[in-house]
Amino acid sequence: MSGSSLFKMRLVHLDLKGAPPKVSYLAEVFPLFHALGANGLLIEYEDMFPYKGHLRLLRAQHAYSPSEIKEILHLATLNELEVVPLVQTFGHMEFVLKHEALAHLREVAFFPNTLNPHEAESLALVGAMIDQVMELHPGARWLHVGCDEVYYLGEGEASRQWLQQEQNNKARLCLSHVKAVASHVLARHPATKPLVWDDMLRDIPEDQLSASGVPQLVEPMLWDYTADLDVHGKALLMEKYQKCGFRQLWAASAFKGATGVSQALTPIEHHLRNHMQWLQVAAHGPADTLQGIVLTGWQRYDHFSVLCELLPVGIPSLAVCLQSLLQGGFAEDVKTRVENFLGMPSLEITGFTSEGAASFPGSDILALVTQVGLHLRSSVDEMLYRDRYVTGWFSSYHRRRKLIHPVMIQHIQPQALR
């Protein structure tokens, strides 16, 4: 069975909370996404969305303008890529709750990641965010509302008091907020179905999940980015969700950004194995349950972390993963197809180096990052931390103060210029 029949929707995730691409670059790369087999985009705007009015403080200085958002959507349409916007509404709210004006809406006062679900103002805030995003995405069939990794839920003062009541627990607290957010989406945008990440739902008992009303409101996205994911366990989880009343499910894999918070080069073999496992899940799980798969490409682990692999660096991995899903595996003929798409003479799956220059959009960035990551960084580290002249006379202390003994320049300069 071909992968195309297992996953009818294949969305590429654009994580814009770090190194967001210029619109001109997206114009170059969207045709490649389409050619490789993608038919949709999950766009996680975070602070790159042009929020306005009382939400203007959420937008980054270099956020896309409304006209640029419209151009991105136009480019997506031209390349037959259906856009699903993503708005975080519970966890991963750092870009919102870092602001002093909104800090009072934190679940735990010291941590800006999780929204306090007890405050009416919290729901009003995420409702306004959703409405502004939907205003620029009219006709979107789905809206992803996040709700993953809601760390420290139940640890705020209001939650502690609420949890003291006998019938209350963290699962109920989580479900009540998800239900409120989803209800807002469906009330204001009835043609749009909310999607949620599934990790906060996994361990909730079937009876509680069924009784919550959430399964009738949202479609969960089962995510697992590991190379050895538990296929049988995922099939059982899908069955559980079906029993609880969820009509459609989604899968989420990763083509980059899931193997190290500061990863610079993409380990293609890891991501290929991840997708091979997801193909097994789709083949062995309940029939016709998976609506599609999102190939996530994380750019930061959270709002405050460093960048992991840049989008151009991850494109060979994306090509391998998309084609593997489409063809149902990664045989030699699929590898040849990928190399032709990328204009790459020989693609290396198990390492970080590939022979010859590639010609896909952004391939020059990949070449530079590879040069720095595999060659320049190690030689610079060797010089900075092991050369006696540098450690003795040109240490970080000296460099910060721009001080050096002139005699030492003749020892250091020849090595620096090699």
Q: What amino acid positions are annotated as catalytic residues? A: 149
Assigned token pair, 396: 């970080």
Q: Which of 108, 131, 105, 137 is nearest to 119 (CA)?
A: 105
The CA distance from 116 to 121, in Å, is 9
Assigned token pair, 198: 């599934």
What is the rounded end-to-end Cα distance, in angstroms, of the chain? 54
Q: At residue 146, what is the residue type?
A: G
Q: Which of 242, 316, 330 is nearest to 278 (CA)?
A: 330
Dihedrals φ, ψ of 70, to 5°? -65, -35
The CA distance from 382 to 386, in Å, is 5
Assigned token pair, 285: 């799980």
The CA distance from 9 to 6, in Å, is 9
Handedness of CA 62, 133, 311, 301 (dihedral sign): positive
**Contact status, residue 163 vs residue 170, Cβ threshold 8 Å:** yes
The CA distance from 328 to 5, in Å, is 9
Spell out the residues 6+ positions from residue 167 whose beta carbon is closer than 8 angstroms to its own.
Answer: none
Measured CA to CA in angstroms, residue 340 lies from 29, 35, 310, 323, 355 at distances of 15, 11, 22, 12, 14
Dihedrals φ, ψ of 223, to 5°? -115, 140
The helix or strand, by DSSP H or E, that contains position 86, with its residue range, turns out to be strand 82-86
**Contact status, residue 304 vs residue 93, Cβ threshold 8 Å:** no
Q: How far is CA 211 from the centre of its chain?
A: 31
The CA distance from 177 to 91, in Å, is 11
Assigned token pair, 27: 């114009």
Spell out the residues 6+ positions from residue 184 whose beta carbon is closer than 8 angstroms to its own.
Answer: 123, 126, 127, 130
Q: Which of 327, 337, 330 is nearest to 273 (CA)?
A: 330
